[in-house]
Amino acid sequence: MLIRSTWTLSVAEPTTLPRSYGLELVKTLHQRMGLEMSDRPIPDITYSGILGNPSASGDFLTFYPDEPYQLILSGLRETASKSIAEFNFDRTHSSHSTLQFLGAEFQIIDRNDEITSYEQLYHTLVANEPAPVKRFDLNFTTPTAFAQDRIYLPLPVPALMFRSWLDRWNAFAPVYLGSDELVRYLSENIALTRHRLQTRRFTVHRNNITGFTGTASLQLLTRTDPLLANVANLLIHYAQFAGTGIKTRLGMGQTQAIH
């Protein structure tokens, strides 16, 4: 089971949180869902933090009434996915459920669940042999980066993106797709053709990581094997659940495929 759950949030009054609120929020969510914060190298939950346009001042963010915000949680294995699917926020005296942490209160005004499975994605996008998609448009909505030895690289390098998605798929899916040779083939046959990116800092504990946000387009080269082109399409669809790059359990690497 795979789930991508999107909650729409609002606040009743201006609400200020530290930039580093993300770690406290993800701990709160794990506790409420009865899950442990694991140190496993490949996380089975990805999380977006609170998406929207809060105003920034120094080390603080302020959220305003009448502005919609979103929170996204995705589960990559059965236990985590079921916990997300069954999770409900507290219901208070108002008609809406609420999310409360660090003295802040967000109202939950809507929820949308996208539910599928590894088998369904594989059969639809690969086994049924659809016509290959030749162009992929991606939107990176939270700072995204890749670990390169002792540094973080804030660039959408195709080989690093496909490696990130493939490692997660192979860790949790019942269908093994391949490893180094597949990444090498895809990186040689799918080119980054356009991008509109900016860098943003992401705060973890007291450290700042530079990541990129924005849009990027990938193009299938001519004579690419149709089966492997469909595997690429599968991994890009999977990225919407799995995220991209490092620290996806803490709010980095949220990825959307633009159709």
Please provide the DSSP assignment of 121-154 as one string: HHIIIIIT-PPPP-EEEEEEEEEE-EEETTEEE-
Query: Average pLDDT for residues 134-161, to the nearest whole number?
Result: 96
Any residues with CB less than 8 A from the CB of 231 and at least 6 apart, and which? 126, 177, 178, 182, 186
pLDDT, tens digit (0-9, with 9 covering 90-100), for 189-216: 999 999 999 999 998 877 899 999 999 9
Cα separation, 256 vs 4, whole angstroms = 11
Query: Average pLDDT for residues 99-120, to the nearest whole number?
Result: 95
Cα separation, 73 vs 205, whole angstroms = 21
| For residue 136, pLDDT beyond 80 | yes
Cα separation, 162 vs 153, whole angstroms = 15
Cα separation, 93 vs 95, whole angstroms = 7
Pairing relationship of beta strands 97-101 and 90-91 according to DSSP bridges? antiparallel
Query: Average pLDDT for residues 4-15, to the nearest whole number?
Result: 96
Pairing relationship of beta strands 90-91 and 2-10 according to DSSP bridges? unpaired
* CA gyration radius, the chain: 19
Q: What is the DSSP letter of 12?
A: S
Cα separation, 53 vs 41, whole angstroms = 31
pTM above 0.75, yes or no: yes
Domains, the chain, with CATH or none: 2-116 (3.30.70.1890), 119-258 (3.30.70.1900)
Please provide the DSSP assignment of 56-105 as one string: EETTEEEE-TT--EEEEEEE-SHHHHHHHHH---EE-SSSSEEEEETTEE
CA 1 to chain centre: 16
pLDDT, tens digit (0-9, with 9 covering 90-100), for 35-91: 888 777 899 999 999 999 999 999 899 999 989 999 999 999 999 999 999 998 876
Strand partners, 135: 219
Query: Average pLDDT for residues 133-143, to the nearest whole number?
Result: 97
Between 39 and 237, the more confident residue is 237
Cα separation, 102 vs 228, whole angstroms = 47
Cα separation, 18 vs 23, whole angstroms = 11
Percent of the chain with pLDDT over 70: 98
Q: List the single range of 6-10, 89-93, 107-111 with lowest mean pLDDT.
A: 89-93
| For residue 95, pLDDT beyond 80 | no
Query: Average pLDDT for residues 89-97, to the nearest whole number?
Result: 69
Q: Which helix (H) or strand (E) holds 5?
A: strand 2-10
Pairing relationship of beta strands 151-153 and 45-51 according to DSSP bridges? unpaired
- pLDDT at residue 91, rounded to an integer: 64
Asked if 165 contacts 242 with a C-beta cutoff of 8 angstroms, the reply is yes
Closest alpha carbon to 76 in 40, 24, 124:
40
Tell me the average pLDDT of the chain: 94
| For residue 93, pLDDT beyond 80 | no
The pair of structure tokens assigned to 83 is 């916990």
The pair of structure tokens assigned to 252 is 């980095």
| For residue 92, pLDDT beyond 70 | no
Query: Average pLDDT for residues 124-147, to the nearest whole number?
Result: 97
